[in-house]
A and B are shown apart, each in its own frame.
Chain A
Amino acid sequence: MSTEQKQEPEFIQFRYPRQVTYHHALGYQSKFANGLKQCRILATKCPVCGRCTIPPRIVCPFHHVKQTEWVDQGQRGRLISAFKINFPMFNSRTGELQNWENPIIAVELEGGARMDGWCMETDASKLKTGMLMEAVWRPEEERQGRADDILYWKPVEE
């Protein structure tokens, strides 16, 4: 019969998972979300400096003037920068670690607004600043007015 005493750990840690559901109201950003459903990229524009912003902002941060004008930014833009993630990182929608095959790019749209997006071209060395990119949308039945209604951007032959 064993007479060994069970060794208690000196320091105890415990896991405490909790799930939280948030209900967010888009408010004025609903116009942007509805635009996405129609395959349109709408940005707010500052009446003073003319800067278009995505995501839409209620005021221009520099002039603190309410931005009520919405401008369609078109479907194409020029590549500003690109980076690829080589290491597993958390997916904030699922909370899981995963690999990321597609580079994230920043494009400057025809209307002047700059936005992030996924890139269809997985070889980052083929991406050059100034390349013309075009938005590729989800099929209509999948579009929900969410930011990822734009599936990715693909390079366009000029």
Chain B
Amino acid sequence: MAERIAIVGVGQTHHKSKRPDVTTAELCAEAVERCLEDAQMTMKDIDNIVMGSFEVADGYYSPDKWIIPELGAVGKSGFELQNVGTTGGVIAAASFNIAATGLFDAVLCLAWQKMDEAAGAFGRGGGGANEYWTGQFPMSPITNFARRTYAYMDRSGCTEEHISMVRVKQDQCAMKNEYAQLRLGLTLEKVMNDVLLAWPIRRLHMCPTTAGAAACIVCPEEKAKKVTKKPVWVEDWLTCHQGGALTMAEDPTSSTLRYACDAVYKRRGITNPKKEIQAWEVYEPASPAELRWIEEVGICEDYTAWKLFEQNKVGIDKEIPFNPSGGVTATNPIGATPVVRLVEAALQVRGDAGEHQIPGKIDRALATGYGGQGENVIMLLKKTL
């Protein structure tokens, strides 16, 4: 039975580059405990758990098996999913699907990543690749974004300075988010002079490695209304992958974000996303990506987003409140990041984001997950049904 669903509780850990004080299971338990507390529920109330991480990067195989007991969830239904970067997104989508069946009272959505536990796992297999072909190259998000950004700069007239402006704005937002990992007080000069990884990408332009977890609880309508006075309705969701259809050599600009957003907007009757969506938490693995994503989600014309930064129009209390949490360049526990975006978007809708709360009434928020060569998961949240 197709039910309307809402997020009734959220939780995340304070993201750090290393968490030597916890095991992966304890890290997840931290996020889950905070989430249960937020929802004023206990583990007894949860009857399905959808979870996962990019487990190979942490050096694991089916970690859900030893994480479940740590959560006190033995005896519950549940399973694990993974799809590299969009892992958190497919986990969220799965929890939405399961909650929407109406067969369960409360579904826990949990994603984590403990990147201090695997040294250079990305090095193996070239960060996700056709094992035969691309293993000869040190491919990774760094090289992917070097290509993307080069193509973007070539077409748009954007300069290195504009990309660094994006990073400074992201950091300014992160400084107001106690959960973000990198809160550095960056200046334009510092970013522009940072170590060059692969032109034009500098170290500060890229997301960090993070140990963190995030969770949320999704309930069908009737239960949601009983549990909380501030349910965050999940209006729509869409997984839009590529499955290796295009390599970076074939199309360095490939992305399904515009296609996926257009599909969701059409379904929901959104014709002016800039106006009809008031909060954006979009997964940007590198600063220059934010420029392109602002365009692809429909906020401005193609290849003009860099001008918005020049005009200082992007920020928590500015015309375009894009990634008020500081985004992925401040915090990136890969598998968990889309769920972190979802949690941040939900907090914005509820008005609970504290110092990085976007002022004004937030009726709709968009959160995305990103992976691979431009795969996306779209999650659309709403305050009022």
Contact = CB atoms under 8 A, between A and B. Distances in A.
Interface of A: 10-11, 13, 16, 22, 24, 26, 29, 33, 53-55, 57, 61-62, 80-81, 83-87, 89-93, 95, 97, 100, 104, 106, 114-116, 124, 146-148
Contacts of A85: 138, 142-143, 197-198
A24 B135 contact: no
A62 to B, nearest CB: 7
B146 A55 contact: no
Contacts of A114: 247, 249-250
A55 B247 CA distance: 9
A104 B137 contact: yes
A147 B132 contact: yes
B150 interface: yes
B132 A83 contact: no
Interface residues of B, number: 41
Contacts of A22: 131
Interface string B106-145: 0000000000000010111110001111111110101100
Contacts of B247: 55, 114, 116
Most chain A beta-carbon neighbours within 10 Å: one of B21, B126, B130, B250: B250
Most A CB contacts (10 A, CB to CB) among B130, B132, B143 go to B132
Contact of A116 (B125, B131, B249): B249
Nearest to A103: B198
Given A90-B138, A114-B249, 5 more contacts: A16-B59, A55-B134, A87-B195, A106-B248, A147-B135
B199 A84 contact: yes
B252 interface: yes
5 cross-chain pairs, A with B, having the tightest CB-CB distances, nearest first: A90-B123, A61-B245, A106-B249, A55-B133, A89-B138
B196 interface: yes
B103 interface: no
Interface string B209-251: 0000000000000000000000000000000001111111110
Contacts of A91: 123, 138
Contact of B198 (A83, A116, A147): A83
A13 to B, nearest CB: 6
B269 interface: no
A148 B138 CA distance: 13
Given A87-B196, A116-B249, A124-B199, A81 B140 contact: no
A92 B124 contact: yes
Contacts of B43: none
A81 B195 contact: no
A11 B21 contact: yes
Most buried by B among A13, A80, A89, A124: A89
A11 B23 CA distance: 10
B328 to A, nearest CB: 20
Given A55-B133, A81-B150, A92-B123, A86 B252 contact: no
